[in-house]
Chains A and B, each alone.
Chain A
Amino acid sequence: MTTRDIVFAAVGAITALSALLSVTTKHVVHSALWLLVSLGSLAGCYLVLGQELVGLVQLLVYVGAIVVLVLFALMLTRAPIGPHAEIDTPAWQRVVGALLGAATTVLLAALLLPLFSGVTVELDGGAPGGTPAIAQAVFGTWVWPFELLSVLLLVALIGAFAVSRLVLRSEDETVTARGEVRR
């Protein structure tokens, strides 16, 4: 056991524990805040593994933007302080959720553990490659999947704009139609 192993185990345990808490807590906003801890400590995991850039981007995108959006969306609802019976999930949903979660975990573990069980990476002499290596991989080897993903996100964005515009316009038309009827 090196120091890195111990730190990794600790950060990983925090990640898993806060993820569990975020799905089991009865307070809606606490759930979002535990999600924040989980995503933040996942960034810590990347840092311990020597992938500085991945960890920082994880922090920038997930903690700085995604969780802020989640919190913002929660503020638009009537997110109460303390547990609330009205927005609690029934028992059967919890059971199904737990089963699905367990099944996904088993599936991922069955897939990833055999793939990477024998792989060792030398980390003590600095990260392999670092930022330039990641840039090479993303914009060289994997440039097409990367571009495809960005186009997918762009399509989703344009779709969201179109939906909001269409809804607005149809409401305007009904208003003018009513006005004409009145006249």
Chain B
Amino acid sequence: MSPWLEAVVRAVAVLAAFLSLPLLIGQTEHKVMAHMQGRLGPMYAGGFHGWAQLVADGVKFVQKEDILPARADRGVFRLAPAVALIPYLVALSVIPLSPTVVGATVDASVVLVLAVIGVGIIGTLMAGWASANKYSLLGGMRAAAQLVSYELPMVLAVASVALAAGTLSLVGIAEAWSPWWLLWQAPGAFVFLVAALAELQRPPFDMPVADSEIVFGPYTEYSGLRFAFFLLAEYAGIVVMSLLFAVLFLGGWAGPFEAWLGWLWTLLKGFAVAVLMIWMRVSWPRMREDQLQRLAWVWLVPIALLQLALTAVGVVMTS
């Protein structure tokens, strides 16, 4: 296969995953949440258990009027959804499902994923400021404060895994994984999961979009397709974080018949993590802003630092 053709095939495959996996997670959220709350969830769209509900939602979003607030900063307002969405596409393209099933091979892929996730935050801030709406601005400020706080423990937790594996490549980290990492890296895994939820602004960390206080935070003024892009970014974020958790802390493709079924194991582990994230949304009430900051600085950062020290001791002892 010529390199250009291969590049096109890989790009199309990543794009297909980027457009289908978030919908799968969204549908799972509808159904899991509903059953946890003693409801049935969507049942009509598409016939079988409402499988086409999100497709119908997408069609609805496309038909809606595209509203641009009169006082908004037009250029920034229009650009914000793209800035929020595209980084997750880049992140998804370097996350491996197995050593061979990966969009693009990058040496320092784990740094790349963290870096582009950090860029995605800018989209939320741009939306919050450019809408010329006080609720949006408040939401944007909350988002910025939250994301700056939680980025540090997340990077530290990932650094611990990279240190344990001795490489910055996601493929290398998953290959170096062994089952006793489940115990050794458990504090780091906990920190990563909590920080990932906070970065995604999912409940119980949804202070920036708290609907009972500030309507929908930075996304208040958005409608139609642009709003759908923000929603897609949130679910794509869940996909990226779940797969990242599976690759970093659960060994990715490690499992029976991993030579043939490796990609399936990674997907299944990631799906389990995504269901866990949905479960947390259903279980816990929203945290207040000060509780949220306290959790990050008083608990997560020290735990991540301790994990880093623990990993360093382990690496020195075994090498």
Residues of A within 8 A of B (CB): 27, 29-30, 33, 36, 40, 52-53, 56-57, 59-60, 63-65, 67-69, 71-72, 74-76, 79, 81-82, 130-131
> Shortest CB–CB separation between residue B168 and chain A, in angstroms?
6
CB atoms of A75 and B71 under 8 A apart: no
> Shortest CB–CB separation between residue A160 and chain B, in angstroms?
14
CB atoms of B119 and A63 under 8 A apart: yes
In the bound complex, CA of A76 to CA of B126 (Å): 14
Q: Does B121 sit at the interface, judged by CB under 8 A?
A: yes
Q: Are A82 and B73 CB-contacts (below 8 A) given A68-B148, A72-B141, A75-B144?
A: yes
> Shortest CB–CB separation between residue A137 and chain B, in angstroms?
16
Residue of B nearest to A79 (CB): B129
CB atoms of A72 and B118 under 8 A apart: no
Closest 4 CB pairs of A and B: A64-B118, A59-B115, A72-B144, A60-B115
> Shortest CB–CB separation between residue B305 and chain A, in angstroms?
14
Q: Which of B97-123 contact A (CB under 8 A)?
A: 106-108, 111-112, 114-119, 121-122
Q: Which of B18-48 contact A (CB under 8 A)?
A: none
In the bound complex, CA of A76 to CA of B118 (Å): 21
> Shortest CB–CB separation between residue A40 and chain B, in angstroms?
8
Interface size on B, residues (CB 8 A): 33
In the bound complex, CA of A143 to CA of B138 (Å): 43
CB atoms of B115 and A131 under 8 A apart: no
Q: Which of B68-97 contact A (CB under 8 A)?
A: 71-73, 76
> Shortest CB–CB separation between residue B237 and chain A, in angstroms?
15
Q: Does B132 sit at the interface, judged by CB under 8 A?
A: yes
CB atoms of A81 and B73 under 8 A apart: yes
> Shortest CB–CB separation between residue B189 and chain A, in angstroms?
21
Classify the secondary structure of A's interface with B.
helix
> Shortest CB–CB separation between residue B233 and chain A, in angstroms?
16
CB atoms of A53 and B144 under 8 A apart: no
- Chain A residue numbers with a CB within 8 Å of B206 are none
- Chain A residue numbers with a CB within 8 Å of B155 are 60
> Shortest CB–CB separation between residue A112 and chain B, in angstroms?
27
Q: Does B140 sit at the interface, judged by CB under 8 A?
A: yes
Of B114, B117, B118, B126, most A-chain CB atoms within 10 Å: B118
Q: Does B153 sit at the interface, judged by CB under 8 A?
A: no
> Shortest CB–CB separation between residue A83 and chain B, in angstroms?
11
Q: Does B147 sit at the interface, judged by CB under 8 A?
A: yes
- Chain A residue numbers with a CB within 8 Å of B151 are 64-65
Q: Which among A52, A60, A82 is the interface contact of B118 at CB below 8 angstroms?
A: A60
Residue of A nearest to B126 (CB): A33
Residue of A nearest to B140 (CB): A75
CB atoms of B144 and A60 under 8 A apart: no
In the bound complex, CA of A131 to CA of B166 (Å): 12
CB atoms of A60 and B125 under 8 A apart: no
CB atoms of B108 and A131 under 8 A apart: yes
CB atoms of A52 and B106 under 8 A apart: yes
Known: A60-B114, A75-B128. 6 other contacts (CB 8 A): A59-B119, A60-B111, A65-B118, A71-B122, A72-B141, A130-B107
CB atoms of A53 and B111 under 8 A apart: yes
In the bound complex, CA of A30 to CA of B77 (Å): 12
Question: Can you list 20 residue pairs at the A/B interface with Cβ under 8 Å?
Answer: A29-B129, A59-B115, A59-B116, A60-B115, A60-B155, A63-B115, A63-B119, A64-B114, A64-B119, A64-B151, A71-B122, A71-B144, A72-B144, A75-B137, A75-B141, A75-B144, A76-B141, A81-B71, A81-B130, A130-B107
In the bound complex, CA of A131 to CA of B168 (Å): 9
Residue of A nearest to B114 (CB): A60
Q: Does B145 sit at the interface, judged by CB under 8 A?
A: yes
- Chain A residue numbers with a CB within 8 Å of B132 are 81
CB atoms of B106 and A63 under 8 A apart: no
CB atoms of B122 and A56 under 8 A apart: no
- Chain A residue numbers with a CB within 8 Å of B147 are 68
- Chain B residue numbers with a CB within 8 Å of A71 are 122, 125, 129, 144
- Chain B residue numbers with a CB within 8 Å of A29 are 73, 76, 129-130
In the bound complex, CA of A30 to CA of B73 (Å): 10
- Chain B residue numbers with a CB within 8 Å of A56 are 108, 111-112, 115
Q: Are A69 and B111 CB-contacts (below 8 A) given A64-B119, A82-B73, A131-B168?
A: no
